[in-house]
């Protein structure tokens, strides 16, 4: 953060960040980081016995996997571990063949390397690049989550090669990433790596023969705590980064407060901030204010860890906090589609704390299982599959009788404050965004997607949100996938519904108003306006109206544009990657295997097929098809389309 950016913030934030910046400059000049690293190493090397205080994240009842009679879980652990031991490392939703020793500082896909230097000297937002290198790839590798399956495997089969792999990987990472002097020393990355390494440490604490790795982990974790304590991501509107900072400091403080004097400060700071910060980041009906389903999951995981740790520390959590946490979990369950996957609304960097449970990255059922155990409320759980993280955190005794709660009949949910409406049954799903842009009007990880929607009919994903393929790899594509044209909405004169600001912001101009939602005689009606186009010279008033049949999930959508002069109106529909399209007069036929769906539209418009990039997970994209309805209007107009499944004889 630059001086100019700092000075644009409120006075308390200016003071915090200015002091932080000046201290970091002083640390760099005085070789503070080298000196503290030597001091911590000496302290640990003279410590006897090895420091083994637990974090309280794992239950005391967890004694490993050796005696657990769940062969499917053991087989999953063995397979995951053996794949990793052979050099096939899971990064996002793909496996990458990486030779040892790892090159921790490269995007190996394009052979680009970040040389080691002081962490404040890096800049990742380059607009003109000959290669699509992306720092998220070395960052993801350096989060070290892939070590957890190897440790779990050791608890089952006691293979020495697993311990050797863990030790050599950790020592190699430490040697090639000196404190504060590599691309991997970024506060958010440090926070997530801390949480992953603490899980690894909890597993290895079960075995005496892992003492040398425990001591190495102690050193790495204390170094991380020293760094993070001096690089807290505190600003006026805080999001997932600050939450990750607090979670990491809380866990570290719990472990090391009796060994390393400063660690008590880490814990106290986190405990003083966690609960109030939680209420700032989740609106009262449980939706995370960043307006992104993937980040909702990540931040909810982090707060669940915090409140579980506080509970086990004997700290009373306010009833209002517990209730809001419960609402956040229920929202997670509500937005899960019948195929157990989440729609990708807003940004998605595929981040998850509990990503080694054998689920797709867009499957949030393991979070729901943890939440159901935390609240001792069976209805929150949505899968009968027992997740390893649930066994580790709550113990087999509490988990073994868990059962799923399949959806029966139609479920209709309105999140007025969070800005979403959801209708679903066993085979169908509809979700529409009726809320503000996110992060208190700043955008952040939200997209220009007001009144955009997802639609699944008869078990088939049909209309989808395109997701977010990259951040720093291709800034042009990143902003394009954030734009109005990349969502299932209406645009006027090729203008954004609200201007994009820089790499992350969106102007707070497309504000929803007059939103009305109701059920009546087997139909769900949703109506809303936004003022995004009132900024134009013609000051256009816009309204979108949905009607959803509760039985067939036939969707009708009307768009009313009130204007005084001529305009070009464009409506966008993005289809799942397996959908084939055929444009006919006033109708588009969408086919998925043997199923066909018709999209009929008004006679004023023309329909054209275009291609776009669909991204289910970070770093992954697939060419898919979209329909663009074009209409030239000269005065106030009402346009419409209807989507429904065709019968076999149509």
Would you state the pLDDT for residue 609?
A: 98
Check pLDDT > 90 for residue 407: no
Cα 310 to Cα 56: distance, rounded to the nearest angstrom = 9
Q: How many helices (H) and strands (E) does the chain have?
A: 17, 23
Please state the domain extents for the chain: 31-123+130-399, 411-645
**CATH architecture, domain defined by 31-123+130-399:** Alpha/alpha barrel (1.50)
Distance CA 331, CA 295 (A): 13
Q: Which of 18-22, 174-178, 274-278 has the lowest mean pLDDT?
A: 18-22
Residue 59's pLDDT is: 97
pLDDT at 220 over 90: yes
Pair type for strands 429-433 and 420-424: antiparallel
pLDDT band at residue 405 under the 50/70/90 scheme: confident
Span 581-607, mean pLDDT? 95
Specify the long-range contacts of residues 477-483, CB closer than 8 Å, at least 24 apart.
477/613, 478/503, 479/503, 481/447, 481/613, 481/615, 482/347, 482/447, 482/448, 482/506, 483/447, 483/448
For tokens 């898919």, the residue is: 624
State mean pLDDT over 502-514: 94
Task: Using a pLDDT cut of 90, give the percent of the chain over it.
Answer: 91
| Domain 31-123+130-399 identical in fold to domain 411-645 | no
Contact 57, 251 (CB under 8 A): yes
Section 224-229 average pLDDT: 98
pLDDT at position 650 is 57
pLDDT > 70 fraction of the chain, expressed in percent and rounded: 98
- pLDDT at residue 529 above 90? yes
Place of tokens 């608890």: 155
Other C-beta atoms closer than 10 Å to the C-beta of 617 total 20
- Ordered DSSP codes for 161-177: HHHHHHHHHHHHHHHHS
List all residues 6 or more positions away from 449 whose beta carbon is below 8 Å from its beta carbon.
345, 346, 433, 465, 484, 487, 488, 489
pLDDT confidence band for 5 (50 / 70 / 90): low
pLDDT at residue number 376:
95
CB neighbours (10 Å) of residue 236?
A: 13
* pLDDT at 513 (0 to 100): 97
Q: Is the pLDDT of residue 390 over 90?
A: yes
CATH number of 411-645: 2.70.98.70
6, pLDDT greater than 70 = no
Residue 406: other Cβ atoms inside 10 A? 9
Tell me the β-bridge partners of 415. Answer: 420
Residue 366: count of CB within 10 angstroms of its CB:
25
CA–CA separation, 146 vs 85, rounded Å? 10
Q: Report the range of poorest mean pLDDT among 15-19, 317-321, 347-351, 549-553.
A: 15-19
Q: Cα angle at 343 between 341 and 348, to 5 degrees?
A: 105
User: How does residue 8 score in pLDDT terms, banded at 50, 70 and 90?
Assistant: confident
Partner residues linked to 130 by β-bridges: none
Segment 441-451, tens digit of pLDDT: 888 899 999 99
What confidence tens digit (pLDDT) does each residue in 228-273 have? 999 999 999 999 999 999 999 999 999 999 999 999 999 999 999 9
Confidence of residue 648 (pLDDT cuts 50, 70, 90): low
Helix residue spans in 177-237 (DSSP H): 187-204, 211-229
Q: What is residue 42's predicted lDDT score, i.e. its pLDDT?
A: 95
Q: Which of 601, 650, 592, 595 is nearest to 624 (CA)?
A: 592
- The answer for residues whose C-beta is within 8 angstroms of residue 31's C-beta and 6 or more apart is none
With tokens 């989808």, the residue in question is: 464
What local confidence, expressed as pLDDT, does residue 112 receive? 96
Residue 3's pLDDT band (boundaries 50, 70, 90)?
A: low
**CA-CA-CA-CA dihedral for 355, 360, 361, 365, to nearest 10:** -80
pLDDT tens figures, 567-593? 999 999 999 999 999 999 899 999 999
CA torsion, points 238, 239, 242, 246, in degrees to nearest 10? 110
pLDDT for 159-168, tens place per residue?
999 999 999 9
- According to DSSP H, which parts of 457-523 are helical? 475-482
HEC letters along 564-606: CCCEEEEEEEEECCCCEEEEECCEEEEEECCEEEEEEECCCCE
Taking all residues of the chain, what is their mean pLDDT, rounded to a whole number?
95
Q: Are 464 and 643 in contact (CB under 8 A)?
A: no
Q: DSSP states of 258-303 as a string? A: TTSTTHHHHHHHHHHHHHHHHHHHB-TTS-BTT--HHHHHHHHHHH
**Are the C-beta atoms of residues 345 and 465 closer than 8 Å to each other?**
yes
Closest CA to 225 of 255, 202, 248: 248
């Amino acid at each position: 953060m630059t001086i100019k950016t700092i000075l644009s913030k409120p006075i308390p934030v200016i003071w915090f960040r200015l002091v932080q910046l000046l201290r970091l400059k002083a640390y760099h000049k005085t070789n503070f980081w080298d000196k503290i690293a030597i001091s911590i190493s000496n302290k640990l090397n003279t410590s006897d016995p090895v420091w083994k205080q637990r974090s309280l994240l794992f239950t005391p009842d967890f004694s490993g996997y050796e005696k657990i009679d769940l062969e499917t879980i053991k087989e999953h652990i063995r397979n995951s571990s053996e794949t990793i031991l052979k050099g096939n490392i899971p990064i996002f939703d793909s496996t990458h063949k990486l030779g040892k020793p790892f090159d921790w500082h490269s995007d190996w896909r394009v052979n680009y390397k970040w040389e080691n230097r002081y962490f404040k000297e890096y800049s990742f937002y380059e607009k003109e690049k000959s290669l699509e290198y992306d720092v998220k790839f070395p960052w993801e590798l350096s989060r070290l989550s892939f070590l957890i399956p190897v440790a779990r495997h050791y608890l089952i089969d006691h293979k020495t090669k697993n311990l050797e792999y863990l030790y050599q990987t950790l020592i190699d990472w430490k040697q090639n990433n000196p404190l504060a002097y590599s691309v991997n020393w970024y506060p958010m990355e440090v926070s997530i790596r801390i949480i992953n390494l603490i899980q690894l440490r909890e597993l290895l604490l079960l075995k005496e023969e892992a003492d040398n790795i425990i001591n190495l982990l102690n050193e790495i974790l204390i170094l991380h705590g020293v760094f993070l304590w001096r690089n807290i991501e505190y600003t006026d509107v805080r999001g997932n980064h600050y939450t990750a900072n607090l979670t990491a400091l809380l866990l570290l403080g719990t472990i090391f407060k009796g060994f390393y004097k400063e660690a008590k400060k880490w814990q106290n700071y986190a405990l003083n901030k966690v609960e109030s910060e939680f209420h700032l980041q989740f609106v009262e009906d449980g939706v995370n204010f960043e307006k992104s389903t993937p980040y909702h999951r990540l931040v909810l995981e982090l707060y669940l860890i915090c409140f579980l740790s506080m509970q086990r520390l004997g700290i009373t959590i306010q009833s209002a906090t517990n209730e809001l946490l419960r609402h956040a979990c229920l929202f997670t369950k509500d937005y899960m589609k019948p195929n157990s996957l989440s729609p990708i609304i807003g940004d998605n960097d595929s981040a998850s704390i509990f990503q080694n449970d054998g689920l797709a990255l867009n499957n949030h059922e393991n979070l729901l299982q943890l939440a159901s155990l935390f609240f001792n409320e069976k209805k929150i759980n949505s899968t009968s599959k027992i997740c390893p993280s649930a066994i580790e955190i709550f113990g087999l005794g509490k988990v073994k009788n868990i059962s799923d709660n399949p959806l029966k009949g139609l479920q209709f949910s309105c999140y007025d404050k969070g800005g979403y409406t959801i209708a679903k049954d066993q085979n169908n799903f509809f979700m529409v965004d009726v809320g503000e842009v996110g992060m208190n009007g700043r955008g952040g990880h939200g997209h220009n997607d007001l009144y955009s929607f997802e639609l699944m009919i008869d078990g088939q994903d049909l209309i989808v949100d395109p997701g977010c393929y990259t951040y720093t790899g291709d800034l042009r594509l990143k902003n394009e996938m954030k734009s109005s044209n990349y969502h299932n909405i209406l645009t006027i004169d090729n203008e954004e519904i609200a201007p994009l600001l820089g790499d992350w912001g969106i102007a707070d101009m497309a504000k929803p108003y007059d939103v009305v939602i109701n059920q009546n005689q087997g139909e769900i009606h949703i109506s809303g306006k936004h003022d995004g186009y009132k900024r134009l010279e013609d000051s256009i008033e816009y309204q979108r109206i949905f009607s959803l049949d509760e039985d067939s999930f036939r969707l009708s959508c009307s768009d009313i544009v009130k204007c005084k002069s001529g305009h070009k109106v464009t409506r966008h529909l993005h289809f799942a990657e397996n959908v084939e399209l055929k444009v006919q007069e006033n109708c588009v036929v969408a086919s998925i295997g043997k199923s066909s769906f018709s999209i009929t539209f008004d006679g004023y418009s023309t329909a054209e097929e275009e291609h776009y990039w669909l991204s289910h997970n970070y770093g992954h994209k697939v060419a898919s098809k979209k329909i663009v309805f074009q209409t030239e209007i000269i005065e106030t107009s009402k346009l419409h389309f209807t989507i429904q499944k065709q019968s076999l004889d149509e």
